[in-house]
């Protein structure tokens, strides 16, 4: 359900001002504290950021994919940890329920997800199942009107804050790959569910990932999403959508870095003139701008195609692959343009350099995107 142009523009302007006036001044503090201020989270809830993709009938904004990407572009202009605070509610933590959940499941959980009262997580990755998502070993054994879950998940975003997990577990061990995997909604308060300490990470301090352990966790049959054995299909469609969200975020971060580079290069003087006057610096800025424009165009075109109901599995993978690699190159050039200052924490460039590295890994590594792109291209005949 697309917004009218005026409402959309008002939303984007509101998010832009929130990023500029509220979030950017807190970037260093959030990184140093490795924590998100509670008042900022409440402001995000009030702005409706936790419900960007949730249907309006359940209290969300129900943005189209194109509109969501435009909003995420604005949120990319600050530390990615801020977006991660509500990102799982908008994307991978809620979309299995939105796309495949039944009415009772939606009525029970989606209003709380939209308001931010319920924080969600997506539990797919395991010690032996990352890029090979079909290698899930967490077991779900049917026992009357419940399933009993046993296993462990790794690197689960927002797990330490999550109230509700979408969990992929193997219900039929006789079927190899994704064929025996099912999806479940598992509440944090379920006996036997435990969450590990947040991992120390390269970047994105303030956003946390943890292990999640299931020890004879009983989950009602009514909390299974879709039919038994459909979990892999659910996961793949959730990730297809999530890749566009991440692509837009990468573009937003790149645009922030380019703006910072232009401002710094215009002020920093060497050999009696601003370094922006040197052609080798101009060349780096030109490369960054060209790649960011290309990533933006691919992302937005693919979002519009998805809104029209077209199959964009290949295009979404291409957007995520290109945008995540692009922002890594932009961050690297930003450090180079800033020179020594780019290596110093005070300027924030080194923080972004670390922050963006994860984009080439989650929602599928760049190598997995290459596999998807080539597979879909061969399938389409070119």
Report, as residue numbers or ranges, the catalytic residues: 363
Whole-angstrom CA distances from 233 to 100, 110, 180, 236 are 10, 21, 11, 5
DSSP state letter for 310: -
Residue 3, classed as helix, strand or coil, is coil
Residue written as tokens 């201020």?
Answer: 37
Query: Is residue 225 helix, strand or coil?
Result: strand
Helix (H) or strand (E) holding 19: none
Three-class secondary structure assignment of 127-179:
CCECCCHHHCCCEEEEECCEEEEEEEEEEEECCCCCCEEEEEEECCCCCCHHH
Q: What are phi and psi of 242, to 5 degrees?
A: -60, -30
- Residue 101: CB partners within 8 Å, gap ≥ 6? 109, 110, 185, 225
Instruction: Please report, for residues 118, 149, 165, 217, the alpha-carbon distance to residue 189 in angstroms, rounded to integers and kept in the order given.
Output: 12, 14, 11, 10
Q: How many CB atoms lie within 10 A of CB 104?
A: 9
CB 255 within 8 A of CB 285: no
Q: How far is CA 168 from CA 6, 228, 251, 362, in A?
A: 40, 11, 30, 16
Buried b (16+ CB within 10 A) or exposed e, 285-294: beebbebbee
Residue whose structure tokens are 């039944």: 102
| HSE-up (13 A, CA, CB side) for residue 265 | 23
Q: Can you tell me the distance from the alpha carbon of 60 to that of 57, in angstroms, rounded to the nearest whole number? A: 7
């Amino acid at each position: 359900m697309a917004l009218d142009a005026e409402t959309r523009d008002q939303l984007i302007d509101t998010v832009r001002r929130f990023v500029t006036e509220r979030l950017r001044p807190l970037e260093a503090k959030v990184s140093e504290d490795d924590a998100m201020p509670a008042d900022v989270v409440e402001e995000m809830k009030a702005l409706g950021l936790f419900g960007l993709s949730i249907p309006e009938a359940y209290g969300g904004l129900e943005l189209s994919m194109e509109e969501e990407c435009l909003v995420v572009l604005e949120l990319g202009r600050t530390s990615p940890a801020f977006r991660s605070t509500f990102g799982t509610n908008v994307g991978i933590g809620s979309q299995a329920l939105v796309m495949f959940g039944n009415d009772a499941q939606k009525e029970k959980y989606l209003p709380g997800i939209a308001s931010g009262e319920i924080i969600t997580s997506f539990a797919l990755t395991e010690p032996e199942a990352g890029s090979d998502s079909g290698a899930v070993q967490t077991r779900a054994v049917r026992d009357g009107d419940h399933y009993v879950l046993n296993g462990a998940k790794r690197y689960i975003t927002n797990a330490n804050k999550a109230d509700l997990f979408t969990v992929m577990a193997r219900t039929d061990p006789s079927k190899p790959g994704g064929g025996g995997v099912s999806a479940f909604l598992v509440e944090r308060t379920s006996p036997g569910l435990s969450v590990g300490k947040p991992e120390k990470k390269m970047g994105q301090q303030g956003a946390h990932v943890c292990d999640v352990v299931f020890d004879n966790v009983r989950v009602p049959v009514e909390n299974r999403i879709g039919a038994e054995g459909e979990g892999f299909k659910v996961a793949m469609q959730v990730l297809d959508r999530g890749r566009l969200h991440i692509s837009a975020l990468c573009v937003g971060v790149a645009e922030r870095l380019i703006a910072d580079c232009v401002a710094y290069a215009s002020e920093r003087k060497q050999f009696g003139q601003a370094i922006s006057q040197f052609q080798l610096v101009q060349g780096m800025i030109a490369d960054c701008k060209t790649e960011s424009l290309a990533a933006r165009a691919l992302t937005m075109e693919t979002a519009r195609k998805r809104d029209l109901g077209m199959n964009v599995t290949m295009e979404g993978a291409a957007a995520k692959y290109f945008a995540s690699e692009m922002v890594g190159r932009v961050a690297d050039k930003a450090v180079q343009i800033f020179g020594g200052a780019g290596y110093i924490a005070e300027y924030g460039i080194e923080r972004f350099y670390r922050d963006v590295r994860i984009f080439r890994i989650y929602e599928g590594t760049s190598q997995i995107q290459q596999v998807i792109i080539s597979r879909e291209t061969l399938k389409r005949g070119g």
